Structure 1
Amino acid sequence: MAKQHSFKAATCAAMVSASMTLMLHAAGAWADDVPPPSSSGSQQTDATAQPASKWKIGVGPGVVITPLYPGSRELRFFPYPALDIAYDDRVFSQGPDVLGLNVLRSEDYHVGAALSFDFQSRQEKDDPHLHGLGNVDGGPKLKLFADYTVWMFTGSVALYQDIAGHGQGKTVVTDLYASLPVGGWLFSIGPGFTWADAEYTRTFFGVSSQQSAASGLPAYNTGAGIRDVHLNGYVSYDISKHWATSVAVTLGRLQHYAAASPITERRSELNTLASVNYRF
Protein backbone atom coordinates (compact mmCIF):
# COMPACT_ATOMS: atom_id res chain seq x y z
CA MET A 1 0.00 0.00 0.00
CA ALA A 2 2.63 2.50 -0.71
CA LYS A 3 2.50 4.48 -3.89
CA GLN A 4 3.39 8.11 -3.21
CA HIS A 5 2.09 11.03 -5.24
CA SER A 6 4.21 14.08 -5.88
CA PHE A 7 1.76 16.96 -5.69
CA LYS A 8 1.30 19.02 -2.55
CA ALA A 9 -1.61 18.95 -0.07
CA ALA A 10 -2.17 18.15 3.67
CA THR A 11 -8.44 11.98 8.41
CA CYS A 12 -8.09 8.49 12.77
CA ALA A 13 -6.88 9.46 11.61
CA ALA A 14 -4.01 11.18 9.43
CA MET A 15 -5.53 7.81 8.96
CA VAL A 16 -8.33 6.90 6.74
CA SER A 17 -10.18 8.79 9.22
CA ALA A 18 -12.01 6.97 11.89
CA SER A 19 -14.95 8.99 10.92
CA MET A 20 -14.82 7.60 7.40
CA THR A 21 -14.74 4.05 8.81
CA LEU A 22 -17.90 4.57 10.82
CA MET A 23 -19.56 6.24 7.87
CA LEU A 24 -18.75 3.29 5.63
CA HIS A 25 -19.90 0.88 8.33
CA ALA A 26 -23.24 2.58 9.01
CA ALA A 27 -24.13 3.82 5.52
CA GLY A 28 -22.52 1.24 3.19
CA ALA A 29 -24.45 -1.86 4.25
CA TRP A 30 -27.16 -3.47 2.13
CA ALA A 31 -29.81 -6.11 2.97
CA ASP A 32 -30.19 -9.46 1.23
CA ASP A 33 -33.46 -9.90 -0.68
CA VAL A 34 -36.04 -11.90 1.30
CA PRO A 35 -37.90 -14.60 -0.70
CA PRO A 36 -41.57 -13.67 -1.37
CA PRO A 37 -44.28 -15.45 0.66
CA SER A 38 -45.59 -18.69 -0.79
CA SER A 39 -48.98 -19.04 -2.49
CA SER A 40 -51.31 -22.02 -2.85
CA GLY A 41 -50.23 -22.58 -6.45
CA SER A 42 -46.48 -22.60 -5.94
CA GLN A 43 -45.69 -25.66 -3.79
CA GLN A 44 -42.87 -26.72 -6.09
CA THR A 45 -41.26 -23.27 -5.94
CA ASP A 46 -41.61 -23.22 -2.14
CA ALA A 47 -39.94 -26.60 -1.86
CA THR A 48 -36.87 -25.40 -3.68
CA ALA A 49 -36.76 -21.84 -2.25
CA GLN A 50 -33.65 -21.02 -0.27
CA PRO A 51 -33.63 -18.83 2.87
CA ALA A 52 -31.86 -15.49 2.63
CA SER A 53 -28.17 -15.80 3.41
CA LYS A 54 -26.83 -14.18 6.57
CA TRP A 55 -23.57 -13.52 4.77
CA LYS A 56 -22.74 -10.28 3.00
CA ILE A 57 -19.55 -10.44 0.97
CA GLY A 58 -18.06 -7.69 -1.15
CA VAL A 59 -14.48 -7.48 -2.41
CA GLY A 60 -12.62 -5.31 -4.87
CA PRO A 61 -9.86 -2.79 -5.46
CA GLY A 62 -9.62 0.50 -3.61
CA VAL A 63 -7.34 3.46 -3.14
CA VAL A 64 -6.55 5.51 -0.03
CA ILE A 65 -5.42 9.14 -0.19
CA THR A 66 -4.05 10.55 3.06
CA PRO A 67 -1.41 13.03 4.26
CA LEU A 68 2.18 11.83 3.96
CA TYR A 69 2.33 12.37 7.74
CA PRO A 70 0.12 14.38 10.14
CA GLY A 71 0.63 18.06 9.35
CA SER A 72 2.26 17.38 5.97
CA ARG A 73 1.52 19.41 2.85
CA GLU A 74 2.03 16.30 0.69
CA LEU A 75 -0.35 13.43 -0.01
CA ARG A 76 0.36 9.75 -0.49
CA PHE A 77 -1.72 7.20 -2.38
CA PHE A 78 -2.18 3.54 -1.34
CA PRO A 79 -3.72 0.74 -3.38
CA TYR A 80 -6.12 -0.92 -0.96
CA PRO A 81 -8.04 -4.25 -0.85
CA ALA A 82 -11.57 -2.98 -0.20
CA LEU A 83 -13.40 -5.61 1.86
CA ASP A 84 -17.03 -5.42 2.95
CA ILE A 85 -17.75 -8.73 4.67
CA ALA A 86 -20.32 -9.36 7.39
CA TYR A 87 -22.23 -12.24 8.94
CA ASP A 88 -25.68 -11.60 10.38
CA ASP A 89 -24.74 -7.94 11.04
CA ARG A 90 -22.69 -9.36 13.92
CA VAL A 91 -19.13 -10.11 12.75
CA PHE A 92 -17.62 -7.92 10.06
CA SER A 93 -14.48 -6.89 8.17
CA GLN A 94 -14.85 -3.47 6.55
CA GLY A 95 -12.32 -0.86 5.49
CA PRO A 96 -9.51 -0.47 8.03
CA ASP A 97 -11.51 -2.60 10.50
CA VAL A 98 -9.79 -5.95 9.95
CA LEU A 99 -12.12 -7.82 12.29
CA GLY A 100 -15.04 -6.38 14.24
CA LEU A 101 -17.94 -7.50 16.41
CA ASN A 102 -21.28 -5.77 16.91
CA VAL A 103 -21.93 -6.74 20.52
CA LEU A 104 -25.28 -4.94 20.49
CA ARG A 105 -27.09 -4.13 17.26
CA SER A 106 -30.43 -3.37 15.71
CA GLU A 107 -31.65 -1.47 12.66
CA ASP A 108 -31.07 1.77 14.59
CA TYR A 109 -27.82 1.27 16.48
CA HIS A 110 -24.54 -0.65 16.80
CA VAL A 111 -22.22 -1.00 19.79
CA GLY A 112 -19.07 -3.05 19.51
CA ALA A 113 -15.32 -3.42 19.12
CA ALA A 114 -12.89 -4.02 16.29
CA LEU A 115 -9.23 -4.58 15.51
CA SER A 116 -8.47 -1.66 13.21
CA PHE A 117 -5.32 -0.86 11.24
CA ASP A 118 -4.16 2.76 11.34
CA PHE A 119 -1.98 4.02 8.49
CA GLN A 120 -0.80 7.14 10.31
CA SER A 121 2.98 7.11 10.38
CA ARG A 122 5.97 9.38 9.93
CA GLN A 123 9.42 8.56 8.59
CA GLU A 124 12.43 10.88 8.66
CA LYS A 125 13.12 10.02 5.02
CA ASP A 126 9.67 11.37 4.03
CA ASP A 127 10.82 15.00 4.22
CA PRO A 128 14.03 16.87 5.15
CA HIS A 129 11.81 18.85 7.52
CA LEU A 130 11.55 15.70 9.67
CA HIS A 131 15.27 15.02 10.07
CA GLY A 132 16.13 14.38 13.71
CA LEU A 133 12.54 13.77 14.87
CA GLY A 134 12.63 9.97 14.70
CA ASN A 135 10.21 7.58 13.02
CA VAL A 136 6.63 6.80 14.03
CA ASP A 137 5.23 3.52 12.71
CA GLY A 138 1.62 2.73 11.89
CA GLY A 139 -0.04 -0.37 13.25
CA PRO A 140 -3.09 -2.02 14.80
CA LYS A 141 -5.42 -0.26 17.19
CA LEU A 142 -8.29 -1.41 19.38
CA LYS A 143 -11.47 0.36 18.35
CA LEU A 144 -14.56 0.73 20.55
CA PHE A 145 -17.54 2.25 18.77
CA ALA A 146 -21.22 3.12 18.95
CA ASP A 147 -23.65 4.66 16.46
CA TYR A 148 -27.34 5.52 16.55
CA THR A 149 -29.66 6.48 13.70
CA VAL A 150 -32.88 8.50 13.89
CA TRP A 151 -34.63 8.89 10.54
CA MET A 152 -31.92 10.19 8.17
CA PHE A 153 -29.48 11.31 10.89
CA THR A 154 -26.70 9.19 12.41
CA GLY A 155 -24.48 10.05 15.35
CA SER A 156 -21.34 8.01 16.00
CA VAL A 157 -18.37 7.90 18.34
CA ALA A 158 -15.25 5.72 18.17
CA LEU A 159 -12.28 5.41 20.51
CA TYR A 160 -8.96 4.17 19.08
CA GLN A 161 -6.24 2.83 21.38
CA ASP A 162 -2.72 2.10 20.12
CA ILE A 163 -1.92 -1.54 21.00
CA ALA A 164 1.37 -1.78 19.10
CA GLY A 165 3.40 0.46 21.41
CA HIS A 166 4.10 3.08 18.71
CA GLY A 167 3.28 6.05 20.95
CA GLN A 168 0.01 6.85 19.21
CA GLY A 169 -2.01 6.84 22.43
CA LYS A 170 -5.76 7.39 22.25
CA THR A 171 -7.98 9.30 19.86
CA VAL A 172 -11.76 9.73 19.93
CA VAL A 173 -13.68 10.57 16.75
CA THR A 174 -17.21 11.97 17.00
CA ASP A 175 -19.40 12.47 13.92
CA LEU A 176 -22.93 13.47 12.98
CA TYR A 177 -24.19 13.06 9.44
CA ALA A 178 -27.33 12.91 7.33
CA SER A 179 -27.90 10.22 4.68
CA LEU A 180 -30.21 10.31 1.67
CA PRO A 181 -30.82 7.39 -0.73
CA VAL A 182 -31.81 8.41 -4.28
CA GLY A 183 -32.42 5.50 -6.62
CA GLY A 184 -29.23 3.46 -6.65
CA TRP A 185 -27.32 6.32 -5.04
CA LEU A 186 -26.61 7.00 -1.37
CA PHE A 187 -25.38 10.41 -0.20
CA SER A 188 -24.12 11.22 3.30
CA ILE A 189 -22.61 14.41 4.73
CA GLY A 190 -21.92 15.85 8.15
CA PRO A 191 -19.44 17.41 10.60
CA GLY A 192 -17.22 15.88 13.25
CA PHE A 193 -14.15 16.35 15.42
CA THR A 194 -11.24 14.32 16.76
CA TRP A 195 -9.91 14.47 20.31
CA ALA A 196 -6.39 13.18 21.04
CA ASP A 197 -4.64 12.43 24.31
CA ALA A 198 -1.27 13.87 25.36
CA GLU A 199 0.69 10.82 24.18
CA TYR A 200 -0.67 11.10 20.65
CA THR A 201 -0.05 14.86 20.32
CA ARG A 202 3.44 14.51 21.84
CA THR A 203 4.35 11.76 19.34
CA PHE A 204 3.12 13.50 16.18
CA PHE A 205 3.31 17.19 17.03
CA GLY A 206 5.63 17.62 20.02
CA VAL A 207 9.36 18.45 19.81
CA SER A 208 11.50 17.39 22.77
CA SER A 209 14.76 19.13 23.68
CA GLN A 210 16.69 16.21 22.14
CA GLN A 211 14.64 16.38 18.94
CA SER A 212 15.09 20.14 18.85
CA ALA A 213 18.86 19.81 19.03
CA ALA A 214 18.87 17.17 16.28
CA SER A 215 16.37 18.82 13.94
CA GLY A 216 16.84 22.53 14.47
CA LEU A 217 13.12 22.96 15.21
CA PRO A 218 12.15 24.80 18.39
CA ALA A 219 11.15 22.69 21.40
CA TYR A 220 7.39 22.36 21.64
CA ASN A 221 5.30 20.87 24.45
CA THR A 222 1.82 19.47 23.84
CA GLY A 223 -1.13 18.10 25.79
CA ALA A 224 -4.52 16.50 25.30
CA GLY A 225 -7.13 18.36 23.29
CA ILE A 226 -9.07 18.67 20.02
CA ARG A 227 -6.86 17.45 17.20
CA ASP A 228 -9.09 18.52 14.30
CA VAL A 229 -12.56 19.48 13.15
CA HIS A 230 -13.71 17.93 9.90
CA LEU A 231 -16.48 17.47 7.35
CA ASN A 232 -17.33 13.99 6.08
CA GLY A 233 -18.83 13.19 2.70
CA TYR A 234 -19.82 9.79 1.32
CA VAL A 235 -21.32 8.71 -2.03
CA SER A 236 -22.10 5.18 -3.18
CA TYR A 237 -23.76 3.85 -6.31
CA ASP A 238 -25.16 0.41 -7.09
CA ILE A 239 -23.98 -0.17 -10.65
CA SER A 240 -25.78 -3.52 -10.86
CA LYS A 241 -26.94 -6.35 -8.63
CA HIS A 242 -23.34 -7.39 -7.99
CA TRP A 243 -21.25 -4.27 -8.60
CA ALA A 244 -21.10 -1.12 -6.47
CA THR A 245 -18.73 1.79 -6.10
CA SER A 246 -18.19 4.29 -3.29
CA VAL A 247 -16.11 7.33 -2.34
CA ALA A 248 -15.65 8.61 1.22
CA VAL A 249 -13.94 11.98 1.76
CA THR A 250 -12.96 13.79 4.96
CA LEU A 251 -11.80 17.42 4.85
CA GLY A 252 -10.19 18.41 8.15
CA ARG A 253 -8.59 21.39 9.84
CA LEU A 254 -5.96 20.87 12.55
CA GLN A 255 -6.57 22.63 15.87
CA HIS A 256 -4.72 23.73 19.02
CA TYR A 257 -1.49 21.75 19.66
CA ALA A 258 -1.58 20.14 16.21
CA ALA A 259 -2.11 23.44 14.40
CA ALA A 260 0.61 25.37 16.26
CA SER A 261 3.32 22.67 16.09
CA PRO A 262 6.56 23.57 14.27
CA ILE A 263 6.26 20.15 12.60
CA THR A 264 2.97 21.13 10.94
CA GLU A 265 3.38 22.57 7.46
CA ARG A 266 -0.30 22.66 6.52
CA ARG A 267 -3.35 22.79 8.80
CA SER A 268 -5.83 21.47 6.21
CA GLU A 269 -6.13 17.71 5.67
CA LEU A 270 -7.65 15.52 2.99
CA ASN A 271 -8.46 11.84 3.52
CA THR A 272 -10.18 9.78 0.83
CA LEU A 273 -11.16 6.13 0.39
CA ALA A 274 -12.52 5.09 -3.03
CA SER A 275 -13.44 1.54 -3.99
CA VAL A 276 -15.25 -0.72 -6.42
CA ASN A 277 -16.82 -3.86 -4.95
CA TYR A 278 -18.14 -7.11 -6.37
CA ARG A 279 -20.91 -8.44 -4.13
CA PHE A 280 -21.47 -12.19 -4.10
Structure 2
Amino acid sequence: MAGQLGKNTVTVGLGAAYLPSYEGSKDYQFSPAPAALAYIDGHTITYIGNRLSVDLIGDKANRDWDIQAGPIGVVNLDRTTTSGIDDPRVRALGKIGAAVELGGYVGIGKIGVVTSPYDRLSVSVSYRHDVTGVHDSGIWQPSVNYFTPLSTKAAVGLFATAEHVGRGYARRYFSITPDQSAASGLPVYNARSGWKDWSVGGLATYSITGNLLKGWKVVGGLTYGRMVNDFGDSPIVSQAGSRSQWLSALGLAYTF
Protein backbone atom coordinates (compact mmCIF):
# COMPACT_ATOMS: atom_id res chain seq x y z
CA MET A 1 0.00 0.00 0.00
CA ALA A 2 2.61 2.57 1.04
CA GLY A 3 4.63 1.78 -2.05
CA GLN A 4 1.97 3.48 -4.09
CA LEU A 5 3.00 6.76 -2.48
CA GLY A 6 6.70 6.37 -3.31
CA LYS A 7 8.14 6.24 0.23
CA ASN A 8 10.17 3.58 2.00
CA THR A 9 7.88 2.11 4.65
CA VAL A 10 7.29 -1.01 6.72
CA THR A 11 3.80 -1.93 7.90
CA VAL A 12 2.99 -4.69 10.39
CA GLY A 13 -0.50 -5.67 11.42
CA LEU A 14 -2.61 -8.18 13.29
CA GLY A 15 -6.31 -8.82 13.04
CA ALA A 16 -8.99 -11.47 13.03
CA ALA A 17 -10.35 -13.23 9.97
CA TYR A 18 -13.74 -14.92 9.69
CA LEU A 19 -13.39 -17.65 7.09
CA PRO A 20 -14.62 -21.15 6.12
CA SER A 21 -13.41 -23.94 8.41
CA TYR A 22 -12.03 -25.73 5.34
CA GLU A 23 -11.92 -24.97 1.62
CA GLY A 24 -15.51 -25.38 0.45
CA SER A 25 -17.10 -25.38 3.92
CA LYS A 26 -20.44 -23.79 4.78
CA ASP A 27 -19.34 -23.36 8.42
CA TYR A 28 -17.11 -20.48 9.52
CA GLN A 29 -14.58 -19.81 12.23
CA PHE A 30 -12.36 -17.00 13.50
CA SER A 31 -8.62 -17.14 12.92
CA PRO A 32 -5.68 -14.80 13.65
CA ALA A 33 -4.72 -12.72 10.61
CA PRO A 34 -1.10 -11.50 10.74
CA ALA A 35 0.26 -9.39 7.89
CA ALA A 36 3.28 -7.29 6.95
CA LEU A 37 4.21 -5.11 3.99
CA ALA A 38 7.64 -3.60 3.35
CA TYR A 39 8.38 -1.20 0.50
CA ILE A 40 12.12 -0.50 0.30
CA ASP A 41 13.89 1.20 -2.63
CA GLY A 42 11.18 0.12 -5.04
CA HIS A 43 11.04 -3.50 -3.86
CA THR A 44 7.95 -4.89 -2.14
CA ILE A 45 7.83 -7.72 0.40
CA THR A 46 4.32 -8.92 1.22
CA TYR A 47 3.28 -11.33 3.97
CA ILE A 48 -0.40 -12.14 4.50
CA GLY A 49 -1.47 -15.06 6.68
CA ASN A 50 0.11 -18.11 5.07
CA ARG A 51 1.57 -16.39 1.98
CA LEU A 52 4.88 -14.60 1.37
CA SER A 53 6.05 -12.92 -1.84
CA VAL A 54 8.99 -10.70 -2.78
CA ASP A 55 9.18 -8.34 -5.75
CA LEU A 56 12.82 -8.45 -6.84
CA ILE A 57 12.48 -5.83 -9.58
CA GLY A 58 12.63 -2.26 -8.31
CA ASP A 59 10.18 0.21 -9.81
CA LYS A 60 12.00 3.51 -9.27
CA ALA A 61 13.55 3.69 -12.75
CA ASN A 62 10.18 4.37 -14.37
CA ARG A 63 7.50 5.70 -12.03
CA ASP A 64 4.72 5.22 -14.61
CA TRP A 65 5.16 1.45 -14.84
CA ASP A 66 5.87 -1.20 -12.20
CA ILE A 67 7.38 -4.45 -13.50
CA GLN A 68 7.05 -7.23 -10.93
CA ALA A 69 8.78 -10.62 -10.61
CA GLY A 70 9.96 -12.72 -7.74
CA PRO A 71 9.46 -15.77 -5.53
CA ILE A 72 6.25 -16.75 -3.77
CA GLY A 73 5.56 -19.27 -1.04
CA VAL A 74 2.36 -20.58 0.52
CA VAL A 75 1.82 -22.98 3.44
CA ASN A 76 -1.44 -24.79 2.75
CA LEU A 77 -3.00 -25.66 6.12
CA ASP A 78 -6.37 -26.81 4.78
CA ARG A 79 -7.75 -29.69 6.90
CA THR A 80 -4.46 -30.17 8.77
CA THR A 81 -6.69 -30.48 11.83
CA THR A 82 -10.28 -31.62 12.18
CA SER A 83 -10.99 -29.90 15.49
CA GLY A 84 -12.53 -26.82 13.87
CA ILE A 85 -14.66 -28.72 11.31
CA ASP A 86 -18.32 -28.95 12.36
CA ASP A 87 -19.51 -31.47 9.78
CA PRO A 88 -18.83 -35.03 11.08
CA ARG A 89 -18.68 -36.39 7.53
CA VAL A 90 -15.77 -34.15 6.60
CA ARG A 91 -14.05 -34.86 9.92
CA ALA A 92 -14.29 -38.57 9.10
CA LEU A 93 -12.30 -38.03 5.90
CA GLY A 94 -9.23 -37.54 8.10
CA LYS A 95 -6.49 -34.95 8.38
CA ILE A 96 -4.20 -33.78 5.57
CA GLY A 97 -0.59 -32.78 6.12
CA ALA A 98 0.58 -29.20 5.65
CA ALA A 99 1.71 -28.57 2.07
CA VAL A 100 4.51 -26.11 1.32
CA GLU A 101 3.96 -24.60 -2.13
CA LEU A 102 6.88 -22.68 -3.67
CA GLY A 103 7.14 -20.86 -6.97
CA GLY A 104 7.25 -17.44 -8.53
CA TYR A 105 5.21 -14.70 -10.15
CA VAL A 106 5.45 -12.03 -12.83
CA GLY A 107 3.30 -8.97 -13.35
CA ILE A 108 3.04 -5.42 -14.56
CA GLY A 109 1.39 -2.39 -13.03
CA LYS A 110 0.45 1.04 -14.40
CA ILE A 111 0.72 3.93 -11.97
CA GLY A 112 -1.52 6.99 -12.30
CA VAL A 113 -4.43 5.38 -14.09
CA VAL A 114 -7.75 6.90 -12.99
CA THR A 115 -8.07 8.82 -9.75
CA SER A 116 -4.64 10.26 -8.95
CA PRO A 117 -0.91 10.12 -9.77
CA TYR A 118 -0.64 7.41 -7.11
CA ASP A 119 -3.35 4.89 -8.03
CA ARG A 120 -2.24 1.64 -9.66
CA LEU A 121 -3.78 -1.08 -11.81
CA SER A 122 -1.76 -4.29 -12.05
CA VAL A 123 -2.07 -7.78 -13.50
CA SER A 124 0.03 -10.78 -12.52
CA VAL A 125 0.25 -14.54 -12.76
CA SER A 126 1.92 -16.90 -10.32
CA TYR A 127 2.83 -20.57 -10.32
CA ARG A 128 3.67 -22.63 -7.27
CA HIS A 129 4.24 -26.35 -6.71
CA ASP A 130 3.97 -28.48 -3.60
CA VAL A 131 7.48 -29.48 -2.49
CA THR A 132 6.38 -31.62 0.47
CA GLY A 133 4.59 -34.37 -1.46
CA VAL A 134 1.22 -33.70 0.19
CA HIS A 135 -0.55 -33.07 -3.13
CA ASP A 136 2.55 -32.94 -5.38
CA SER A 137 0.98 -30.72 -8.04
CA GLY A 138 1.02 -27.18 -9.34
CA ILE A 139 -1.26 -24.16 -8.94
CA TRP A 140 -1.61 -21.33 -11.47
CA GLN A 141 -3.11 -18.08 -10.18
CA PRO A 142 -3.84 -15.03 -12.36
CA SER A 143 -4.79 -11.82 -10.53
CA VAL A 144 -5.95 -8.28 -11.24
CA ASN A 145 -5.50 -5.57 -8.57
CA TYR A 146 -6.44 -1.91 -8.28
CA PHE A 147 -5.35 0.41 -5.48
CA THR A 148 -6.01 4.09 -4.89
CA PRO A 149 -5.45 6.50 -2.01
CA LEU A 150 -8.51 8.62 -1.29
CA SER A 151 -6.62 11.10 0.87
CA THR A 152 -3.51 11.18 3.05
CA LYS A 153 -5.45 9.10 5.59
CA ALA A 154 -7.58 6.67 3.58
CA ALA A 155 -7.09 4.18 0.75
CA VAL A 156 -9.04 1.38 -0.91
CA GLY A 157 -8.19 -1.57 -3.11
CA LEU A 158 -10.06 -4.05 -5.32
CA PHE A 159 -8.95 -7.39 -6.71
CA ALA A 160 -10.05 -10.43 -8.70
CA THR A 161 -8.26 -13.78 -8.88
CA ALA A 162 -8.72 -17.44 -9.77
CA GLU A 163 -6.84 -20.72 -9.26
CA HIS A 164 -6.16 -23.61 -11.65
CA VAL A 165 -4.89 -26.69 -9.80
CA GLY A 166 -3.35 -29.99 -10.82
CA ARG A 167 -4.63 -33.55 -10.50
CA GLY A 168 -2.82 -34.19 -7.22
CA TYR A 169 -4.48 -31.21 -5.57
CA ALA A 170 -7.90 -32.30 -6.83
CA ARG A 171 -7.34 -35.85 -5.59
CA ARG A 172 -5.99 -34.87 -2.15
CA TYR A 173 -8.53 -32.22 -1.16
CA PHE A 174 -11.69 -32.94 -3.17
CA SER A 175 -11.78 -36.64 -4.10
CA ILE A 176 -13.29 -39.32 -1.84
CA THR A 177 -11.84 -42.83 -1.81
CA PRO A 178 -13.95 -45.94 -1.11
CA ASP A 179 -12.47 -46.16 2.42
CA GLN A 180 -13.25 -42.50 3.07
CA SER A 181 -16.75 -43.02 1.72
CA ALA A 182 -17.35 -45.91 4.09
CA ALA A 183 -16.10 -43.85 7.04
CA SER A 184 -17.95 -40.62 6.21
CA GLY A 185 -21.11 -41.63 4.36
CA LEU A 186 -20.21 -39.31 1.48
CA PRO A 187 -20.20 -40.93 -1.98
CA VAL A 188 -17.01 -41.95 -3.78
CA TYR A 189 -15.80 -39.10 -5.97
CA ASN A 190 -12.86 -38.55 -8.32
CA ALA A 191 -12.06 -34.88 -8.91
CA ARG A 192 -10.06 -33.85 -11.96
CA SER A 193 -7.60 -31.01 -12.46
CA GLY A 194 -8.89 -27.68 -13.70
CA TRP A 195 -10.10 -24.29 -12.56
CA LYS A 196 -10.93 -24.60 -8.88
CA ASP A 197 -12.42 -21.24 -7.95
CA TRP A 198 -12.58 -17.53 -8.56
CA SER A 199 -12.88 -14.70 -6.08
CA VAL A 200 -13.36 -10.93 -5.94
CA GLY A 201 -12.85 -8.63 -3.02
CA GLY A 202 -11.86 -5.32 -1.61
CA LEU A 203 -9.97 -3.76 1.27
CA ALA A 204 -9.92 -0.39 2.96
CA THR A 205 -7.59 1.32 5.39
CA TYR A 206 -7.94 4.47 7.46
CA SER A 207 -5.22 6.14 9.49
CA ILE A 208 -6.15 6.90 13.10
CA THR A 209 -2.80 8.53 13.98
CA GLY A 210 -0.65 10.31 11.44
CA ASN A 211 -1.27 9.34 7.81
CA LEU A 212 -0.93 6.42 5.39
CA LEU A 213 2.87 6.65 5.57
CA LYS A 214 3.21 6.64 9.34
CA GLY A 215 1.29 5.64 12.43
CA TRP A 216 -1.64 3.44 13.37
CA LYS A 217 -4.40 2.50 10.96
CA VAL A 218 -7.49 0.31 10.79
CA VAL A 219 -7.55 -2.22 7.96
CA GLY A 220 -10.52 -4.28 6.80
CA GLY A 221 -11.36 -6.51 3.88
CA LEU A 222 -14.13 -8.64 2.39
CA THR A 223 -13.84 -11.39 -0.25
CA TYR A 224 -16.42 -13.50 -2.07
CA GLY A 225 -15.31 -16.71 -3.79
CA ARG A 226 -17.05 -19.41 -5.81
CA MET A 227 -16.01 -23.06 -6.12
CA VAL A 228 -16.45 -24.29 -9.71
CA ASN A 229 -16.19 -27.39 -11.92
CA ASP A 230 -15.25 -30.69 -10.23
CA PHE A 231 -14.39 -28.82 -7.04
CA GLY A 232 -17.82 -27.28 -6.61
CA ASP A 233 -19.40 -30.62 -7.53
CA SER A 234 -17.38 -32.59 -4.98
CA PRO A 235 -19.62 -33.96 -2.18
CA ILE A 236 -17.22 -32.26 0.25
CA VAL A 237 -18.57 -28.98 -1.13
CA SER A 238 -21.95 -29.71 -2.76
CA GLN A 239 -23.32 -31.91 0.07
CA ALA A 240 -21.31 -31.06 3.18
CA GLY A 241 -20.30 -27.51 2.30
CA SER A 242 -21.12 -24.62 -0.03
CA ARG A 243 -19.88 -23.40 -3.40
CA SER A 244 -20.08 -19.82 -2.10
CA GLN A 245 -17.14 -18.82 0.09
CA TRP A 246 -16.87 -15.62 2.12
CA LEU A 247 -13.85 -14.23 3.96
CA SER A 248 -13.78 -11.07 6.06
CA ALA A 249 -10.99 -9.57 8.15
CA LEU A 250 -10.50 -6.59 10.43
CA GLY A 251 -7.39 -5.49 12.26
CA LEU A 252 -4.89 -2.83 13.30
CA ALA A 253 -1.61 -2.03 11.57
CA TYR A 254 1.31 0.27 12.24
CA THR A 255 3.45 1.90 9.55
CA PHE A 256 6.92 3.26 10.25
Q: Please tell me the TM-score bracket, short chain as reference.
A: 0.7 to 0.9
Shift of 1:223: 1.0
How far apart, CA to CA, are the structure 1 residues paired with 2:89 and 2:136? Answer: 20
TM-score normalised by structure 1 residue count? 0.73
The superposition leaves residues 3-62 of structure 1 with CA deviations (integer Å, 9 ceiling, x where unpaired) of: xxxxxxxxxxxxxxxxxxxxxxxx4535565xxxxxxxxxxxxxxxxxxxx5x3222322
Paired residue for 1:270? 246
Shift of 1:98: 6.3
Shift of 1:267: 0.6
Q: Quick check: 1:124–1:133 contact (8 Å CA) kept in 2?
A: no
Answer with 260-269 or 229-238: which moved more. 229-238
How far apart, CA to CA, are the structure 2 residues paired with 1:230 and 1:77? Answer: 20
Paired residue for 1:176? 144
The superposition leaves residues 160-217 of structure 1 with CA deviations (integer Å, 9 ceiling, x where unpaired) of: 3222332263222222233332112222224332211111111111111222222221
Paired residue for 1:20? none
Structure possessing the higher radius of gyration over alpha carbons: 1
- 2:56 partner SS: strand
Paired residue for 1:29? 3
Paired residue for 1:129? 89
Q: Quick check: 1:172–1:195 contact (8 Å CA) kept in 2?
A: yes
- 2:24 partner SS: coil
Find out whether 1:113 has 2:71 as its counterpart.
yes
Counterpart of 1:76, as a letter, is Q
How far apart, CA to CA, are the structure 2 residues paired with 1:65 and 1:131? Answer: 20
TM-score normalised by structure 2 residue count? 0.79
User: What are the equivalent positions in structure 2 for 1:52-201 lying under 5 Å apart?
Assistant: 56-90=9-43, 92-96=45-49, 100-106=53-59, 107=63, 108-125=66-83, 126=85, 127-150=87-110, 151=113, 152-167=120-135, 169-183=137-151, 184-201=153-170
Paired residue for 1:244? 217
Shift of 1:276: 1.5
The superposition leaves residues 96-131 of structure 1 with CA deviations (integer Å, 9 ceiling, x where unpaired) of: 366543232425121100333334335444230224
What RMSD over aligned residues (CA atoms) do the two structures have, in Å?
2.5
Gaps in structure 2 of 5+ consecutive residues? 114-119
Aligned residues with identical type, % of pairs:
24
Answer with 116-125 or 58-67: which moved more. 116-125
